[in-house]
């Protein structure tokens, strides 16, 4: 006997909204129904542990889908726990479950926003009404004899009939609406696509039944691939990890390393994180990049490129995180402010950094290759995060005055090989290796045998603003004019002598160059070059100025200090001229110009420089 019942008010409102809102992502109904079926199978398996008669030996727990293009009917069937009459009424009808209530309370009246809310609350079953003009749920509870059928058109009411069913489980029959984006689901290719997308790693087998043109039924299993991240690492071979990498990365090639984890405790999740051996396409330059992690909830695919799980500076990583603790319908908005997600992100960062560290320690050559391709991306971590600075410092690699062509040096190694007299870590920033390698700023350190790190990535200026020290050794920019080494008494005497001797030349140069430099002074730090430009502490570096002006920003003009080398023949000659009160002619302009060139800066007026230089070349 058929029994008609009213939907509970809130359910009715919900259904109305579901049906009448333009839902852009209708296909998710299939994910919801498959996931409900998988839950029902899990529940039965669980109950059968205590009561083995519920699951006779040899039964395959499975999900069967069939799409019929001629009748426009789609069915999804499972042989799981099933529902009796009370369950059907409770679960699919009258009792507003907490999700429904919360959902309705969150409704704002703005259709566009409200539609997005659907996904946030556990109201999955009803989403079938987005594509269905009528739904039948035929179910028999495991361990009970009687079957029941629930039928509704998604309006005010539903009916329940007794209807014998041969096996336990639930069969949902969807009469597809006569609209393009609903009818589609009667075609097996469409169903296959969606199931493969969302439910590829559901543990229970999902079969699709379709009819060929001679009306023979074909059965195909849709989810062959095991969710390898849920398996124990000891059961997996390297080959399987590599195969799975191809699947998640879509890049092909081999991973550099991976980290496979299962965490239990207040939260339970699995992660399988890969570091690619080669930079994924566009990763280095794109600022609006894709993030490589996929989020799964209870083995069900939720989203690709989940940026909430990974900071920008780890955007080269690939892999999967699968959590038990989020709702299937989790939305982007929820992800952004969710404690569970924040915890997953922290886990991912930590594991990726740990993995990189072990590659850096055990496989130096491989790490060098990684560093060339992705080091600059990792460096962004220095100004975008504060929590993992120590780990990041240990991962840094540099070219230096002491590395050979293929080598890099890390900070640990740098500090270990510092001569005893060296107190700080020296570096120089510039546009390219060739620009910094010839810089006059290196001369003092070279003479002392101190190693100098070369920083030539665009991010380095920014990085150095948060990289202040390593193991109590301060970083020192050689472009600053404050480098002081310990000096012997003789050296000190010679210096103050030079200062006096050169006073006149310094004054004369300063007078001519006053527009460009704040001071001219003698230095003992130059060995081969006649002069260089240094900046006072706090002033902006030449490279930074260039970066800013490249970005069209206004660069505050800070004058630098011109330091001259009293031991250089050019300076000695000029000193004579100054002492004889002779005109210095083109010399000041050429000295200033060559200081800019030597550090890799751009000449403000190349033509003027060339003409000044030609005057000197022509003079006898």
Kindly list the residues in this chain that would bind ligand ADP in the complex (CB under 6 A). 32, 36-37, 40, 78, 80-83, 91-92, 122-126, 170
Q: Distance (Å, rounded) from C-alpha 611 to C-alpha 220?
A: 81
Give me the phi and psi of 79, to 5 degrees please: -110, 50
For residues 32 and 599, which CB has a smaller minimum distance to ligand ADP in the complex? 32
Collapsed DSSP state (helix, strand, coil) of residue 146:
coil
Closest separation between CB of residue 348 and ligand ADP, Å?
26
Give which of 459, 476, 277, 478 is closest to 377, Cα–Cα.
Answer: 459
For residues 18 and 509, which CB has a smaller minimum distance to ligand ADP in the complex? 18
For residues 37 and 452, which CB has a smaller minimum distance to ligand ADP in the complex? 37
Closest separation between CB of residue 37 and ligand ADP, Å?
5
Closest separation between CB of residue 194 and ligand ADP, Å?
17
Closest separation between CB of residue 89 and ligand ADP, Å?
11
Tokens 């900071």 sit on residue: 311
Query: Is residue 158 within 8 Å of 93, Cβ to Cβ?
Result: yes
For residues 81 and 396, which CB has a smaller minimum distance to ligand ADP in the complex? 81
Closest separation between CB of residue 279 and ligand ADP, Å?
40
Closest separation between CB of residue 265 and ligand ADP, Å?
24
Query: Is residue 256 within 8 Å of 359, Cβ to Cβ?
Result: yes
For residues 123 and 256, which CB has a smaller minimum distance to ligand ADP in the complex? 123
For residues 32 and 477, which CB has a smaller minimum distance to ligand ADP in the complex? 32
Q: Distance (Å, rounded) from C-alpha 135 to C-alpha 10?
A: 19
Collapsed DSSP state (helix, strand, coil) of residue 219:
strand
For residues 142 and 479, which CB has a smaller minimum distance to ligand ADP in the complex? 142
For residues 300 and 378, which CB has a smaller minimum distance to ligand ADP in the complex? 300
Dig out the tokens for 201 from the structure: 């790693």
For residues 170 and 439, which CB has a smaller minimum distance to ligand ADP in the complex? 170
Give which of 332, 336, 340, 290 is closest to 315, Cα–Cα.
Answer: 290
DSSP classification of residue 61: P
Query: Is residue 154 within 8 Å of 42, Cβ to Cβ?
Result: no
DSSP classification of residue 51: -
Give me the phi and psi of 341, to 5 degrees please: -65, -40
CA 124: distance to chain centroid? 30
Total residue count of the chain as it appears in this document: 620
For residues 89 and 396, which CB has a smaller minimum distance to ligand ADP in the complex? 89
For residues 103 and 371, which CB has a smaller minimum distance to ligand ADP in the complex? 103
Query: Is residue 150 within 8 Å of 92, Cβ to Cβ?
Result: yes
Query: Concatenated DSSP letters for 247-261?
Result: HHHSS-S-EEEEEEE
Residues 6+ apart with CB under 8 A from 76: 30, 33, 34, 37, 63, 64, 65, 171, 172, 174
Closest separation between CB of residue 40 and ligand ADP, Å?
3
What are the C-alpha distances in Å from 432 to residues 10, 411, 553, 601, 605?
66, 20, 22, 11, 22
Strand spans (E) along 348-405: 399-400
Q: Distance (Å, rounded) from C-alpha 393 to C-alpha 395?
A: 5
DSSP classification of residue 229: G
For residues 48 and 170, which CB has a smaller minimum distance to ligand ADP in the complex? 170
Closest separation between CB of residue 184 and ligand ADP, Å?
22
What are the C-alpha distances in Å from 460 to residues 288, 426, 467, 533, 537?
20, 14, 10, 20, 18
Closest separation between CB of residue 293 and ligand ADP, Å?
24
Closest separation between CB of residue 139 and ligand ADP, Å?
7
Query: Is residue 221 within 8 Å of 206, Cβ to Cβ?
Result: yes
Closest separation between CB of residue 230 and ligand ADP, Å?
20
Closest separation between CB of residue 299 and ligand ADP, Å?
15
């Amino acid at each position: 006997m058929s029994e008609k019942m009213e939907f509970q008010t809130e359910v009715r409102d919900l259904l109305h909204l579901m049906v009448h809102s333009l839902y852009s992502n209708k296909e998710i109904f299939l994910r919801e129904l498959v996931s409900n079926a998988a839950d029902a199978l899990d529940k039965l398996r669980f109950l059968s542990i205590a009561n083995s008669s519920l699951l006779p030996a040899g039964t395959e727990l499975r999900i069967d889908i069939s799409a019929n293009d001629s009748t426009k009917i789609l069915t999804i069937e499972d042989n799981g726990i099933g529902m009796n009459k009370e369950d059907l009424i409770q679960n699919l009808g009258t009792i507003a479950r907490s999700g429904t209530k919360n959902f309705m309370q969150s409704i704002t009246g703005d259709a566009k926003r409200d539609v997005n809310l659907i996904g946030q609350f556990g109201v999955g079953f009803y989403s079938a009404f987005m594509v269905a003009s009528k739904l039948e749920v035929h179910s028999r509870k495991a361990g009970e004899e009687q079957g029941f059928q629930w039928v509704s058109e998604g309006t005010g009411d539903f009916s329940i009939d007794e209807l014998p069913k041969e096996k336990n489980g639930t069969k949902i029959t969807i009469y597809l609406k006569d609209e393009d984006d609903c009818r589609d689901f009667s075609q097996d290719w469409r169903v296959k696509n969606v199931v493969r997308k969302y439910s590829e790693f559901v543990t229970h087998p999902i079969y699709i039944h379709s009819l060929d043109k001679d009306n023979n039924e074909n059965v195909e299993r849709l989810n062959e691939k095991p969710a390898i991240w849920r398996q124990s690492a000891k059961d997996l071979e390297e080959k399987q990890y590599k195969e799975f990498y191809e699947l998640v990365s879509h890049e092909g090639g081999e991973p550099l390393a991976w980290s496979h984890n299962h965490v239990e405790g207040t939260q339970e999740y699995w992660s399988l994180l890969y570091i690619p051996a080669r930079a994924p396409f566009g990763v280095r330059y794109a600022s609006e990049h894709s993030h490589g992690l996929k989020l799964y909830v209870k083995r069900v695919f939720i989203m690709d490129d989940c940026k909430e799980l990974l900071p920008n500076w780890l955007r080269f990583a690939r892999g999967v995180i699968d959590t038990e603790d989020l709702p299937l319908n989790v939305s982007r908005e929820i992800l952004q402010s969710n404690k569970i997600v924040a915890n997953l992100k922290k886990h991912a960062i930590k594991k990726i950094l740990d993995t990189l560290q072990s590659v850096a320690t055990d496989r130096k050559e491989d790490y060098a290759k990684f560093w060339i391709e992705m080091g600059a991306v990792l460096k962004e971590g220095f100004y975008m995060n504060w929590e993992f600075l120590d780990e990041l410092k240990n991962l840094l690699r540099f070219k230096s005055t002491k590395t050979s062509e293929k080598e890099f040096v890390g900070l640990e190694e740098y500090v270990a090989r510092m001569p005893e007299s060296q107190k700080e870590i020296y570096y120089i920033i510039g546009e390219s290796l060739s620009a910094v390698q010839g810089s006059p700023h290196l001369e003092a350190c070279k003479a002392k045998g101190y190693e100098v790190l070369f920083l030539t990535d665009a991010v380095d200026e920014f990085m150095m603003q948060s990289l202040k020290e390593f193991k109590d050794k301060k970083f020192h920019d050689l472009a600053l004019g404050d480098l002081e080494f310990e000096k012997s008494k003789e050296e000190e005497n010679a210096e103050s002598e030079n200062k006096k001797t050169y006073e006149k030349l310094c004054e004369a140069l300063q007078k001519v160059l006053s527009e460009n430099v704040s001071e001219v002074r003698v230095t003992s730090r130059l060995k081969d070059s006649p002069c260089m430009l240094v900046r006072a502490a706090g002033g902006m570096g030449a490279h930074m100025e260039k970066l800013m002006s490249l970005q069209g920003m206004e660069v505050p003009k800070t004058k630098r200090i011109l330091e001259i080398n009293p031991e250089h023949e050019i300076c000695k000659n000029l000193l004579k001229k100054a002492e004889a009160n002779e005109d210095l002619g083109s010399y000041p302009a050429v000295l200033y110009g060559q200081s800019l060139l030597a550090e890799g800066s751009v000449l403000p007026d190349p033509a003027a420089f060339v003409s000044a230089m030609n005057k000197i070349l022509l003079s006898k």
